[in-house]
Amino acid sequence: MKKTILINALTLLLCSGVVANSLDFRVSEGINESQRLIETAYKAGGKDKSIYHFEKARAYRDISVLLASEMEELGSKIFAIKSMNSASKAIEGSQVLDKLESAKLGQGRQVIDPNSLLLALEKIRDDKAFNCAPKELAYAEAYYEAIVYELSKDKPKDSLLQTLYNSYLSSYLMAKEKVDISKKESLECYVGKIQLPSVPEAKEEPLANIPEGVAEKVEKVEEPLLVRARVHFDFDKANIKREYIPLLNEVVRTLKENPKISIRIEGYTDNIGGKTYNEKLALRRAMAVKDYLVKHGIDSKRIEVAGFGKEKYIAENTTPIGRLTNRRTEFIVIQVGGD
């Protein structure tokens, strides 16, 4: 069994002087070299050029460290090599998904069905997880491979399998959650380029036809910019996630094309946490979005912000995806008639 695993591992030796033609290196050397290549990939822009492969390099490194702590020397070396391989792909900017292999099971008792895990991964792959949740997909796949490796033994460790499975499941559920949100909200990563409609300008009547005193008044009509123009946030966070940047760029473009429009950004939270804290968190989320728009050329005077905290839910707070849906900011157009 070990000989077969060793032969398979040798096919991954692509880029490191430490692992020239064999696995004849220390576990610590393999982990250190994988970390070095991850840092090299980061400096080379691999994190932006190929999120999937960069994050997979990190996941493989974590697995290598975990296996080393379990005194699983061969496995630690194999996953260190996998990490180096993925780091090299990140440096190259590869946009190609890795091939997922089905499990070759050992003779021991199987406490996890790897085929069901593989089918789940293939399904979210087909559902554009590579575009909408590349980090989470990468981690889920890496831990699936670690599960397959452990199950290939005649005596897999149940405790280790449980640890690997927990990490797989966490990453998989986060990937699926992001894909579902992207599909529901028609985000660019799922549907392609979003076409935000321009808000029509109010037709101007000659002042002679307007009763005296009314011309001086500015009437504000509020309406949603677009229902799908929402930004969702992780739990207890106010930082803008990478997948929403294209959407915000489209909002910037729309506002630049319609200079008479002002907007209000409304922040919300889920139902977890105290009222006062959540109101502050909601306002921070709205401010984060405003700051992004201002940084990209929108006059701050055109943007109001408000934080509503624990109110105005648009989904049930009984599920993780429902709470993620509620943790959001929305855009309200303030349409100003006249000049």
**Residue pLDDT tens, the chain, 339 long:** 333 333 333 333 433 333 334 455 788 888 888 898 999 999 999 999 999 999 999 999 999 999 998 888 899 989 998 999 999 999 989 999 999 888 776 555 566 888 889 999 999 999 999 999 999 999 999 999 999 999 888 888 888 988 898 889 888 998 998 888 888 877 878 877 544 444 444 444 444 444 444 444 444 444 444 434 678 888 889 999 877 787 788 788 888 888 888 888 999 999 998 889 999 999 999 999 999 999 999 999 999 999 998 888 877 888 776 788 788 888 887 765 444
Q: Is 31 exposed, middle or buried (0-12, 13-18, 19+ CB in 10 A)?
A: buried
Neighbours of 193 (CB within 10 A): 7
Burial of 38 (C-beta count, 10 Å sphere; 0-12/13-18/19+)? buried
Contact in structure between 330 and 230 (CB atoms under 8 Å): yes
Using DSSP bridges, classify how beta strands 303-309 and 220-224 pair: parallel, antiparallel or unpaired.
unpaired
Contact 164, 146 (CB under 8 A): yes
- CATH number of the domain to which 293 belongs: 3.30.1330.60
Q: How many helices (H) and strands (E) are present in the chain, helices listed first?
A: 13, 5
Q: Are residue 132 and residue 225 in the same domain, yes or no?
A: no
Domain C-terminal end among 184, 213, 234: 184
Do residues 207 and 128 share a domain? Answer: no
**Do 235 and 154 sit in the same domain of this protein?**
no
Q: Could you say which of 154, 184, 214 is where a domain stops?
A: 184
Both 162 and 103 in one domain: the answer is: yes
Considering the domain architecture, whether residues 247 and 141 belong to the same structural domain is answered as no
pTM of the entire predicted model: 0.56
| Distance from C-alpha of 222 to C-alpha of 330, rounded to nearest angstrom | 13
Looking at the structure, tell me whether residues 126 and 179 fall in a common domain: yes
Residues 53 and 160 both lie in one domain: yes
Residues 243-295: pLDDT tens digits? 778 778 878 888 888 888 888 899 999 999 888 999 999 999 999 999 999 99
209 in the same domain as 158:
no
**Do residues 149 and 25 both lie within one domain?**
yes
Domain's final residue, options 143, 160, 184: 184
Please, which residues have CB within 8 angstroms of residue 15's CB and are 6 or more apart in sequence? 37, 84, 85, 87, 88
Residue 324 structural domain: 191-336
Q: Are residues 121 and 52 in the same domain?
A: yes
Co-location of 73 and 166 in the same domain: yes
Query: Does residue 38 share a domain with residue 162?
Result: yes
**How many independent structural domains does the chain possess?**
2
